[in-house]
Amino acid sequence: MMIKVEEVINELIKPIPEPEKTVDTLIVGEKDKVVKGIGTTFMATYDVIQRAIDLGVNLIITHEGIYYSHHDQTDKWIQDPIYLEKRRLIESSDMAIFRLHDAIHLYKPDGITKGLLHSLDWGCYVEKNDLTESILTLPAMTLGEFAEYVKKKLNIPYVRVVGDVSQICKRVAVSVGYRGGGENAIPLFVREQLDLLITGEGPEWETPEYVRDAVQQGRKRALIFLGHAESEKAGMRYLAKKLKSVYPTIPVHFLDEKPVFQII
Amino acid sequence: MMIKVEEVINELIKPIPEPEKTVDTLIVGEKDKVVKGIGTTFMATYDVIQRAIDLGVNLIITHEGIYYSHHDQTDKWIQDPIYLEKRRLIESSDMAIFRLHDAIHLYKPDGITKGLLHSLDWGCYVEKNDLTESILTLPAMTLGEFAEYVKKKLNIPYVRVVGDVSQICKRVAVSVGYRGGGENAIPLFVREQLDLLITGEGPEWETPEYVRDAVQQGRKRALIFLGHAESEKAGMRYLAKKLKSVYPTIPVHFLDEKPVFQII
């Protein structure tokens, strides 16, 4: 059976109503090409694209944009040699690249958060899935134990933590990506009676400083920043698994990357 | 000589023309109170305010807002116990708090970047000071050596680094705060022929992923994220020094804080 790029895209966006505005788009490639192999990834780096080519993949599904801008505003670096070299690699490879960002976040529940909860083995502790986070009551552990647990389960070398590592936590919100900003995150602590928020990233002096003030006041608040990619790639790994069952005749790969930062 | 709060504020904003819009404001306190002690800080945490009270400070000059929002949009947590407790502490203390953000960034050169360069002992290597960064040609070191150097000079426990730690760098841009976003930072590499950008923070998949792609292509690019506070507090420390010379009769303190994150 010949599956075309467009059919895979339609499968991916099928769960949600047609949006008025979206960043999800076929960044490069033709809709009617036959799919020989699929690769899902958090963000198609230069190396991810090379590995995809080597694996015979001709459709990459990337969660984040490939040119370093959420709204693809690349006009300021359209002559940059790194940008141009990446374009050359893609154009010489007959690769299609689809960005799946808004749609997967709009799955019910959010497909990226669901993948993270799956990797954390926490699916059975979810009390509710809101639009931007899931709320869980977990077996009690200290903040330090939570940090070690998520590192081990997600196979990541470090997390950034705010709070008293000996604080016992059990009421936890899990969110992904850039949802650590104050406007989203701070109101959750009171509304959901949280001990701990686990998320991707956010501005450093909003939610982190709120949690520090809380601890300095002797109140229970804690925060773990997993990293943006580290919070979202489990969702793209989970998607690869799902696509394997939808298209059993097409090879489907999850294309992993190392953490972008080294801690020195 | 009796110095009033208003006179200190006027001294601080004197170097710049009156702005149309600014986040700089007397957050709390009265303009005509006599200043008994001044404290400068990156962001007045609960603990910083307590220390200020203990030191007899009645005017805190904070670079970032004290309620976790750049534009002071706190309506979503105006009933939050952490917010309320911080307000109570301030209101019970007869403290004035002035936010000095936009003005000091508009000093020529930027007062925050200047303080950082001073702490790094790099003042003599500056080739130019642009609006949002300074450009330097430094004695050649590897990226790893640069990371160790800035940690030692700024007394910070870790930095987040992207790139090959053995890469030799000498052409460097230094910027502060949230200026690590792609729109500001990516164009600098070509325009200023940078080997290395040292800045505060920025979204993780913009500039960091651009630098990773460059390295994967075998090109020279490197990035150090110091942390937002770590990149800006040297500027507030430098300001304390300056205020001491302007007001030799008033005690002036720089109120330091620990890094908001622990790495686990």
What pLDDT, on the 0 to 100 scale, is given for residue B147? 98
Residues 6+ away with beta carbon under 8 Å from B118: B234, B238
pLDDT at residue A17 is higher than 80: yes
Give the separation between CA B159 and CA B233, rounded to whole angstroms: 15
Torsion of CA A168, A173, A179, A182, to 10 degrees: -60
Provide, rounded to the nearest whole percent, the portion of chain A with pLDDT above 70. Answer: 100
Report the gap between the CA of B156 and the closest CA in chain A (Å): 11
Q: Which residues of A touch B217 (CB under 8 A)?
A: 46, 82, 85-86
Element (H, E) at B49: helix B46-54
Element (H, E) at B62: strand B59-64
Helix (H, G, I), strand (E, B) or coil at A239: helix
| Whether pTM exceeds 0.95 | yes
Residue ranges in A109-227 assigned as alpha helix (H): 111-119, 143-154, 182-191, 207-216
Torsion of CA B123, B124, B126, B130, to 10 degrees: 50
pLDDT at residue B130 is higher than 80: yes
> Would you call A216 and B45 a contact, using CB atoms and an 8 Å cutoff?
yes
Q: Which residues of B touch A176 (CB under 8 A)?
A: none
Confidence label for A153 from pLDDT (cuts 50, 70 and 90): very high
What pLDDT, on the 0 to 100 scale, is given for residue A201? 98
Adjacency order of strands within the sheet including B38-43: B26-28, B96-99, B59-64, B38-43, B252-254
Cβ-nearest to A158 among B45, B212, B264 = B264
Cβ-nearest to A77 among B186, B225, B260 = B186
DSSP B33: S
Contact B99, B13 (CB under 8 A): no
Q: Roughly what angle, to the nearest 10 degrees, separates helices B81-91 and A207-216?
A: 70
Q: Which residues of B touch A64 (CB under 8 A)?
A: 205
What's the one-letter identity of residue A171?
A: R
Q: Best of A213, A221, A255, A256 to disrupt the B interface by mutation (most B CBs within 10 Å)?
A: A213
Q: Best of A23, A77, A198, A205 to disrupt the B interface by mutation (most B CBs within 10 Å)?
A: A205
Contact B150, B121 (CB under 8 A): no
Instruction: State the average pLDDT for chain B.
Output: 97
What pLDDT, on the 0 to 100 scale, is given for residue A50? 98
Give the separation between CA A35 and CA A4, rounded to whole angstroms: 5
Angle (nearest 5°) at CA A11 between A9 and A13: 70
DSSP B96: E
Cβ-nearest to B85 among A182, A186, A217 = A217
Cβ-nearest to B45 among A64, A213, A225 = A213
Residue at token pair 């600098």: B188
Torsion of CA A24, A25, A27, A30, to 10 degrees: 150
pLDDT at residue B1 is higher than 90: no
Confidence label for B76 from pLDDT (cuts 50, 70 and 90): very high
pLDDT at residue B34 is higher than 90: yes
Angle (nearest 5°) at CA A258 between A255 and A261: 145
Helix (H, G, I), strand (E, B) or coil at B122: coil
Q: Which of B95, B113, B93 is nearest to B174 (CA)?
A: B113
Provide, rounded to the nearest whole percent, the portion of chain A with pLDDT above 90. Answer: 98
Give the separation between CA B204 and CA B207, rounded to whole angstroms: 7
Instruction: State the average pLDDT for chain A.
Output: 97
Q: Best of B62, B68, B69, B191 to disrupt the A interface by mutation (most A CBs within 10 Å)?
A: B68
pLDDT at residue A1 is higher than 90: no
Report the gap between the CA of A208 and the closest CA in chain B (Å): 7
Q: Roughly what angle, to the nearest 10 degrees, separates helices B228-246 and B5-13?
A: 120
> Would you call A209 and B45 a contact, using CB atoms and an 8 Å cutoff?
yes
Give the side-chain half-sphere CA count within 13 A for B167.
24
- Fold of the domain built from segment(s) A111-229: 3.40.1390
Report the gap between the CA of A209 and the closest CA in chain B (Å): 7
Minimal Cα distance from A184: which residue of B?
A: B76
Chain A, chain B: beta-carbon pairs less than 8 Å apart:
174
> Would you call A213 and B262 a contact, using CB atoms and an 8 Å cutoff?
no
For residue A41, CA distances in Å to A66, A126, B34, B81, B160 come to: 11, 25, 60, 41, 23
Mean pLDDT for the stretch of residues B229-248: 98
DSSP for B131-184, please give it: SS-EEEEEEEEEHHHHHHHHHHHHT-S--EEES-TT-EEEEEEE--TTTTSHHH
Report the gap between the CA of B57 and the closest CA in chain A (Å): 20
Give the separation between CA B250 and CA B89, rounded to whole angstroms: 23
Mean pLDDT for the stretch of residues A72-83: 94
Element (H, E) at A142: strand A134-142
Report the gap between the CA of A106 and the closest CA in chain B (Å): 21
Torsion of CA A237, B221, A52, A119, to 10 degrees: -10
Return residue ranges of chain A for CATH 3.40.1390.30: 5-106, 111-229
Give the separation between CA A33 and CA A30, rounded to whole angstroms: 6
Give the separation between CA A169 and CA A139, rounded to whole angstroms: 8
pLDDT at residue A107 is higher than 80: yes
Give the separation between CA A12 and CA A60, rounded to whole angstroms: 13
Helix (H, G, I), strand (E, B) or coil at A135: strand
Instruction: Convert the pLDDT of each residue in B48-64 to its tens digit.
Output: 999 999 999 999 999 99
Longest dimension (CA), chain B: 63
Rounded to two decimals, the ipTM of the complex is 0.97
Q: Which of B108, B66, B116, B105 is nearest to B227 (CA)?
A: B116
Q: Which of B119, B124, B152, B117 is nearest to B139 (CA)?
A: B124
Report the gap between the CA of B144 and the closest CA in chain A (Å): 8
Q: Which residues of B touch A213 (CB under 8 A)?
A: 45-46, 82, 86
Is the alpha carbon torsion for A42, A46, A50, A56 positive or negative? positive
Residues 6+ away with beta carbon under 8 Å from B70: A203, B23, B64
Q: Which of B177, B210, B178 is nearest to A74 (CA)?
A: B210
DSSP B124: G
What pLDDT, on the 0 to 100 scale, is given for residue B122? 98
Torsion of CA A208, A212, A213, A215, to 10 degrees: 140
Superfamily the domain A5-106 falls into = NIF3 (NGG1p interacting factor 3)-like (3.40.1390.30)
Mean pLDDT for the stretch of residues A183-187: 96
Give the separation between CA B155 and CA B144, rounded to whole angstroms: 16
